[in-house]
Amino acid sequence: MTRDTELPLHRLLGRKVLDADGRSIGRIEEIHAEPRNGELVVTEWVLGAGGLLERLGLVAMARVLPPVRAPEVLDWAELDLADPERPRRRPGARTEDGHPPTAARR
């Protein structure tokens, strides 16, 4: 990723993600990344209340809190960030290795 295509991640936290039909599928609450070639590269976007608990480090407390839906985890390639103010889930997205991304993990 070049400097021209980098995006400050704080601008995405809390943003509502829309599906292809314009319906909300949740808010970006957590971002997973891993080191590659000396940089951190986004691997997954975590949506929903479960993602917020993860970001705040409260996953273990989920047992004593009211039930919270498991987070939806999107592969990095599933998110269209052409308009960072209105991120959208790409229908039929593919990862860089050509495989369909994992849509949800529980």
The 10s digit of each residue's pLDDT in 49-94 is: 777 777 767 666 666 666 666 778 899 999 999 999 999 999 875 4
Q: Got the DSSP string for 31-54?
A: EEEEEETTEEEEEEEEESHHHHHH
Q: Provide the CATH number for the domain around residue 72.
A: 2.30.30.240
Backbone angles phi, psi at 10, to 5 degrees: -60, -25
How many structural domains comprise the chain? 1
In-domain check, residue 83? yes
Could you identify the residue written with the tokens 């839906």?
Answer: 69
Distance (Å, rounded) from C-alpha 32 to C-alpha 41?
Answer: 8
pLDDT of 41 > 80? The answer is: yes
Could you identify the residue written with the tokens 């229908």?
Answer: 91
**Residue 5: what pLDDT?**
63
In-domain check, residue 96? no
